[in-house]
Amino acid sequence: MDLTQIGKSAKEAEIILRTLETNKKNEALLVTADNLVKDTDKLLAANEKDMENGRANNMPQGLLDRLLLTKERIGQMAVGLRQVAALDDPIGEVLSMKKRPNGLEIGQKRVPLGVVGIIYEARPNVTADAFALCFKTGNAVILKGGSDALYSNIAIVESIRSSLLASGLPETAISLIEDTSRETTTQFMRMNEYVDVLIPRGGAGLIRAVVQNATVPVIETGTGNCHIYVDESADFEMALDIIFNAKTQRIGVCNACESLVVHENIVKKFTPLLAKRLKDKDVEIRGDESVMDAADGIVPASEEDWGTEYLDYIISVKTVADVEEAISHINRYNTGHSEAIITNSYENAEKFLDGVDAAAVYVNASTRFTDGFEFGFGAEIGISTQKLHARGPMGLLALTSTKYIIRGNGQIR
Amino acid sequence: MDLTQIGKSAKEAEIILRTLETNKKNEALLVTADNLVKDTDKLLAANEKDMENGRANNMPQGLLDRLLLTKERIGQMAVGLRQVAALDDPIGEVLSMKKRPNGLEIGQKRVPLGVVGIIYEARPNVTADAFALCFKTGNAVILKGGSDALYSNIAIVESIRSSLLASGLPETAISLIEDTSRETTTQFMRMNEYVDVLIPRGGAGLIRAVVQNATVPVIETGTGNCHIYVDESADFEMALDIIFNAKTQRIGVCNACESLVVHENIVKKFTPLLAKRLKDKDVEIRGDESVMDAADGIVPASEEDWGTEYLDYIISVKTVADVEEAISHINRYNTGHSEAIITNSYENAEKFLDGVDAAAVYVNASTRFTDGFEFGFGAEIGISTQKLHARGPMGLLALTSTKYIIRGNGQIR
């Protein structure tokens, strides 16, 4: 189908979704979950075609694994849909209705964004996940997945669409752009008439391309060059536990720790303990001179290291004179994602919370908690590293807007 | 100064503003207000140069009037600055701090956006106004005014900068891009490294150019093709008062009414009363056939009329069969600004509030109330017609973001 037609039909679906009862939305989500499981064989067959192409194109093992659907993974997709059905519906809530001196009552009502565009890479589970979150919040969704997952995505979208029809709802509440060419993708990013917001989900290159080319407003989900600052007054055991967790629990995620900042008064004593602890996972430590002097086996860090998101068993360590220098180092090299201080000083904790410019700033906890589920949202559409609209982990609320509703009895100006 | 240098120095100022005490911000705003008044002669002399150029270039009278500074207008600018000083500072408020099952306390702290870029046309009062709102919310501001007001803007910014220096604050909290060429403006719109948000203030052409060319996130302030729907059950006197007010109180503003929608069962009786009432201000009525049949002197409306923001003594009138048709007509032709229903029907009022997709939806009141001051914000940076980040009149809160702050005692995942 042509892109304009997809946009138009999504807008039409959105008009119905906008005022759809929560009960009906939840029922449709449960039907969709059941049918995805029933369609398991179809989904596996479609996915096998993508896998064959992937293998033929020498796709790396890591990507093949992300592309793969299994019976269990389809079951997890269904569980995800049921979890979203169980969440509270944010749509329709009226915030802060107040009476003005002239008698007008003015409040803000939570409403859907409209049509949400999602551009993502080769993870077919995003297809069902993104649909569930958008649908629950009354938005139509237009998906542009990667060409590597095309057959899988087509099969998932077909299954969801037949569930929508069976529930008496417009199937164009979800659309998939099957033409994955660069021209079509760019056209999609500029469809301001039909698309209210674009959310790119994927690597840094994809996100940069969307920010550079889109005229539709974008919610930038980003990379994470996350720091942990070990203050002079830190409890060393706590610091080591947190660093070990934030660096090694899962290395490929955006909230993993990539860089340490250590107070100069403790660097001598702390570095050997750090080196010992990180040895368990063979983490390479790249440090400045003070760090290298403090322990054996430290690799010299270059300027480039301070700005690098390794996503690997590597960590950089920088020495600073005080919390102020730690804050300005972090603000210079971070990506605005998650930053932590380990300290026992009230003053330094507050300075750090105030001064560090990031979506999530921690005292005495692992950066790995930056996540919609860990924050208690029950869902996550991504982690925003921009300051507009939504910052940090995004749950259902990030997919809503508000409108002012004003009740009068004849007021004029 | 070169654009990158302006961006860098704004970022440096923002670091200081980010954690500046409210008292210090307020004092600096009061000093700035006093000094603008003291600098009246300088400002008038600079403005006279712009006025001379404007007259030499045959600038229309309306624009010349907007460009003109007088002693009174400079006094009003100072009053505006003092009013902003008197407003509550939203920065630093912590929203919804909650304890998670693992003991982490997670809250959202209100923080500045960072560096705000404002692109506007030939109204020099915007210069002081935009500075005050951005400064109060801890943001640095980079202004790109129109070439027509360049001398005025330079003089105002110089005055503000010397007040900032006198207050011991970085003068680069405000910068003016003096090169008003298209290339520089486009470069400014793509300075994602230094600018956190762009707000265009001006006509439809300016806003479109910013949306099309910017890679920095934009808050779109927009045009208003505002409707009033006169329901079957409307009180005619109330309807006529509201329409007269919304159409004629000020014709050149975005919240003025441009189009009426009338229930077919009352069009015969209502139209003659409407024509009579609007005759007082010689408003031209452009109607469909039912409207033309109902009164003399109605001009036939074309399809184009339904989508036109006249900003003039002209109004279009469309007949509909019911509230549903009114809602879908309005959603098709509106610009997402302000829409009103005049009704006595509870059911139709609620349908209209729910179904109309706009920043502000009214029952039984004039669309002219869509305004930051009328809504009780004490200030206004513009009226957003987009759904992301801010929708409707924007006060100080629209110039803020949040960050998550998380207090732990050693939590790991």
Contacts with A327 from chain B: Cβ below 8 Å: none
Coil vs helix vs strand at B226 = strand
Angle B373-B376-B381 (CA atoms, 0-180°, nearest 5)? 45
- Residues paired with B174 in a beta bridge: B141
Kindly report the pTM of this predicted structure. 0.92
Tell me: the pLDDT tens digits for B20-72? 999 999 999 999 999 999 999 999 999 999 999 999 999 999 889 989 999 99
Mark yes or no for CB contact A401/B388 under 8 Å: yes
Cα–Cα distance for residue pair A182/A336, rounded to 1 Å: 29
Contacts with A349 from chain B: Cβ below 8 Å: 407
| A&B contacts, CB < 8 Å | 201
Query: Which of B100, B365, B375 is closest, CB to CB, to A411?
Result: B365
Query: Which of A100, A196, A376 is closest, CB to CB, to B376?
Result: A100
| B contact test, residue of A194, A369, A384, A391 with most B CBs within 10 A | A369
Mark yes or no for CB contact B411/A376 under 8 Å: no
Query: Which of A104, A249, A360 is closest, CB to CB, to B404?
Result: A360
Kindly state the average pLDDT of the residues A182-200. 94
The minimum CA-CA distance between A307 and chain B, rounded to whole Å, is 14
**Half-sphere exposure for A215 (CA within 13 Å, toward CB):** 15
Mark yes or no for CB contact A374/B413 under 8 Å: yes
pLDDT at A202 over 90: no
Kindly state the average pLDDT of the residues A11-26. 96
Question: What is the pLDDT at residue A222?
Answer: 77
Among A26, A218, A272, A238, CA closest to A137: A26
The minimum CA-CA distance between A45 and chain B, rounded to whole Å, is 36
The minimum CA-CA distance between A252 and chain B, rounded to whole Å, is 15
Mark yes or no for CB contact A369/B407 under 8 Å: no
Pick the residue from chain A with its C-alpha nearest to B357.
A403
Pick the residue from chain B with its C-alpha nearest to A220.
B217
Give the largest CA-CA distance in chain B: 79
Question: What is the pLDDT at residue A121?
Answer: 86
Mark yes or no for CB contact B357/A18 under 8 Å: yes
Mark yes or no for CB contact A361/B412 under 8 Å: no
Kindly state the average pLDDT of the residues A279-292. 97
Angle B188-B134-B214 (CA atoms, 0-180°, nearest 5)? 25
The minimum CA-CA distance between A406 and chain B, rounded to whole Å, is 5
Pick the residue from chain A with its C-alpha nearest to B359.
A403
Contacts with A111 from chain B: Cβ below 8 Å: 357
Query: Would you list the DSSP string of A213-278?
Result: H--S-B--B----EEEEE-TT--HHHHHHHHHHHHHS-TTSTTSEEEEEEETTTHHHHHHHHHHHH
Tell me: the pLDDT tens digits for A72-88? 999 999 999 999 999 99
Pick the residue from chain A with its C-alpha nearest to B208.
A215
Residue B377 is which amino acid?
F
Tell me: the pLDDT tens digits for A94-105? 998 999 999 999
pLDDT band of residue A383 (cuts 50, 70, 90) is: very high
Query: Which of B235, B362, B413 is closest, CB to CB, to A406?
Result: B362
pLDDT at A320 over 80: yes
The minimum CA-CA distance between B142 and chain A, rounded to whole Å, is 17
Pick the residue from chain B with its C-alpha nearest to A197.
B388
Cα–Cα distance for residue pair A280/A245, rounded to 1 Å: 12
Question: What is the pLDDT at residue A62?
Answer: 85
Kindly state the average pLDDT of the residues A283-310. 97
Q: Both tokens of residue A139?
A: 């938005």
The minimum CA-CA distance between A182 and chain B, rounded to whole Å, is 18
Which residues of chain B are under the pLDDT cut of 50?
none
pLDDT at A106 over 80: yes
Starting at the edge strand found earlier in the chain, the sheet holding B174-176 runs B174-176, B140-144, B115-120, B197-201
